[in-house]
Structure 1
Amino acid sequence: MSFAFSRADTDLLQGVIDMHLHTMPCLFDRPLDDLEAAEQARTAGYRALVLKSIYVPNADRVELVRRVVPGIELFGSLVLNHSVGGLNPEAVRTAIGFGMKVMWLPTVHAQHHADHFGMPTYPWLAQRQGTLPQVPVPGIRLVDAAGALKPEVAEILAIAKAADIVTGTGHIALDEVHAVAREAQRIGYGKLVQTHVGWHATDWPLEDLKALADLGMKFEFCINPTMPNRQQQSTRKLTDTIRALGVERCFIATDLGQHDNAHPIEGMRMWLRILPLHGFSQNEVDHLARHHPAALLGLPAVG
């Protein structure tokens, strides 16, 4: 697939980083595979991509993609759903060994996800004949009945700090987010990120977001929730929230890679056009799309 952006839009995309992009192989059908996403982003001028797989670690396969598609920084990730053992410190250590830079706490297997959308299950792909029937799985909670953070979560955060990787909150509940943020502050871990602020299952009140900011949390704002076939979140609400939290704590991403949404590169182009319309300066846009993601990924500063 080729893009025929205007010269101005082509210039706009140079050096951007998308830290949240879904690709194939995946149990959900996706419009792009790892290679296509990497090649297209490189052609568009991206500096880096983090490729996300909901059900399996992908940092090992991203090592191979990196060899096939030079000229762009590519990173794998891990999502702590049941398919990798849930809250499994050993899965985290293994993924780090393969170069994983971003980890997400449970998403589709989080209890909060199940409460919001229904019982979490493995999706079925029509083109994969002979797939096993879907079996409900228990939702994952990060705190015990008394509200205390489970020991394995504390261990996972300690591993993340030691390896200097990013941890996204995924689809966990607000009380769990607060518990994780308190532990991250206690141990001095500064790369905890609230995943897709304003998404319908994680649309927390501003006062809670500010409390999390006081604990040192960072905030990811994705274009996905604004898509017409999703919850049609207001871009004004998202940009007002960035302002309220402080640009320095925030960054943008797409969370795209679904057939009913915009192409990920178009989604990033939209974000870069929307932000100035809401009063963000070029320096602020550079921070949100380039400098802050680079710092989180441990990439050297540019310019």
Structure 2
Amino acid sequence: MSEFTPAWRERDPGMSQRLMKGAIDLHCHSGPSVMPRYCDHHEAMHEASEAGLRALLIKDHYYSATPVTEMLNKHYGHLNVELLSGVPLNNQSGGLNLYAVEHGIALGARLIWMPTFSSANHIAHHKADANFKFPKSDKRMMAPAPLTVLDADGKLLPEVLPILDMIAENDVVLSSGHLHISEIWPLFEEARKRGVKRLLTNHPTYIVDANLDDIRRLVGMGVYIEHSMCMFAENSKFKFYDPETLRGLIEAGTVERTILGSDLGQAGNPKIADGFRNVIEICLDLGYSEDDVRKMTSTNAAQLMGLAL
């Protein structure tokens, strides 16, 4: 075996494909969307089925895809892919809107995202960096009204509290969205006090501005940490990080609390399944075992979402 060839590639070259079977992607950006996508939700479901994935969570920053996922699950159950979705609390959903949360959960939403594109933190990144063109929609959209979960004194806004209660009552997932890490601490602390059991932080080092110590602290609170495969995958236009960075992130967050989601679906990026497989191979190249990678691409996500193990 060449010293440059990871052992698994010669010993068990089918391992990455085997790990695709039963994998769960909690970060799929299919369309319709006002942002350019290479596939729609139905096509993403077919792609996931062909690759062997068992579940796909559809994320659009502007609307809840839950009615669509419920319909597709009903009519395309033979594909053996369960579609999930949630409610993004951005301007288009009314911001920190309890009614949107109630309605989404009643329809079957499994996750509530705190503000993403509409968060004051996201907007501040936009203004501070001329190269930060995210989102980039097909059509010109109204400028977002910045949203935060904190008042001027750093306390949670009163409208956040009943949202946390509703999340707890229905045992769905609370994602911190694109809030700054300084906003996440009081949010998650209050959420835990109110009985929220399922907590998620997406791409903590991108926009959220969390460091490795923050990730360790989040994990200590019982939070799952999701890293976006599009930021590590080859040929991704969002490839910001190298494999050693991924190793450091996994070590900080532990294999038991790390989730790898594709964050793919954008036009001009690798296909969802291709990016997913590529990052699985990166993890294997880094020396993570088949069992470790299975946890980060399937088991952990299943536990977070309450899916059968």
Mark yes or no: TM-score above 0.5.
yes
Q: Shift of residue 38 of structure 1?
A: 0.4
Equivalences for residues 20-99 of structure 1 within 5 A: 20-70=27-77, 71-99=80-108
Q: Shift of residue 172 of structure 1?
A: 0.9
Equivalent position amino acid for 1:286 in 2: R
Closer, same or farther: CA 97–260 of 1 in aligned 2, 3 Å: same
Equivalences for residues 100-139 of structure 1 within 5 A: 100-118=109-127, 124-125=137-138, 134-139=141-146
Q: Shift of residue 269 of structure 1?
A: 0.3
Equivalences for residues 271-290 of structure 1 within 5 A: 271-290=279-298
Equivalences for residues 1-303 of structure 1 within 5 A: 9-70=16-77, 71-118=80-127, 124-125=137-138, 134-199=141-206, 201-227=207-233, 228-230=236-238, 232-301=240-309
* Rounded Cα–Cα distance in structure 2 between residues aligned with 1:240 and 1:190: 26
* Rounded Cα–Cα distance in structure 2 between residues aligned with 1:141 and 1:41: 35
Q: Shift of residue 14 of structure 1?
A: 0.4
* Rounded Cα–Cα distance in structure 2 between residues aligned with 1:198 and 1:123: 21
* Rounded Cα–Cα distance in structure 1 between residues aligned with 2:142 and 2:41: 28
Q: Shift of residue 183 of structure 1?
A: 1.1
* Rounded Cα–Cα distance in structure 1 between residues aligned with 2:287 and 2:154: 41
Which deviates more, 233-242 or 24-33? 233-242
Equivalence for 2:9: none
Per-residue CA shift, 1:208-239, capped at 9, x if unaligned?
A: 22222222221111112225422521222122
Equivalent position amino acid for 1:182 in 2: E
* Rounded Cα–Cα distance in structure 2 between residues aligned with 1:40 and 1:113: 31
Asked if 1 retains the 8 angstrom alpha-carbon contact of 2:198 and 2:223, the reply is yes
Asked if 1 retains the 8 angstrom alpha-carbon contact of 2:230 and 2:263, the reply is yes
Equivalence for 1:130: none
Gaps of 5+ in 2: 1-12
Equivalent position amino acid for 2:213 in 1: E
Closer, same or farther: CA 88–15 of 1 in aligned 2, 3 Å: same
Gaps of 5+ in 1: 1-5, 127-132
Q: Shift of residue 67 of structure 1?
A: 2.3
Equivalent position amino acid for 1:65 in 2: L
Q: SS at the partner of 1:151? A: coil
Q: SS at the partner of 1:275? A: helix
* Rounded Cα–Cα distance in structure 1 between residues aligned with 2:137 and 2:289: 44
* Rounded Cα–Cα distance in structure 2 between residues aligned with 1:69 and 1:91: 27
Per-residue CA shift, 1:183-207, capped at 9, x if unaligned?
A: 12322422111112332x1241112
* Rounded Cα–Cα distance in structure 1 between residues aligned with 2:134 and 2:98: 23
Aligned length: 289
Asked if 2 retains the 8 angstrom alpha-carbon contact of 1:62 and 1:75, the reply is yes
Closer, same or farther: CA 273–157 of 1 in aligned 2, 3 Å: same
TM-score, normalised to structure 2, is 0.87
* Rounded Cα–Cα distance in structure 2 between residues aligned with 1:276 and 1:62: 32
Q: Shift of residue 9 of structure 1?
A: 4.5
Equivalent position amino acid for 2:250 in 1: I
Equivalent position amino acid for 1:158 in 2: D
Asked if 1 retains the 8 angstrom alpha-carbon contact of 2:64 and 2:87, the reply is yes
Larger RCO (alpha carbons 8 Å, 6+ apart): 2
Equivalent position amino acid for 2:200 in 1: V
Q: CA RMSD in A?
A: 2.1
TM-score, normalised to structure 1, is 0.89
Asked if 1 retains the 8 angstrom alpha-carbon contact of 2:119 and 2:146, the reply is yes
Equivalence for 1:129: none
Q: Percent identity?
A: 29
Q: Shift of residue 39 of structure 1?
A: 1.0
Equivalent position amino acid for 2:99 in 1: E
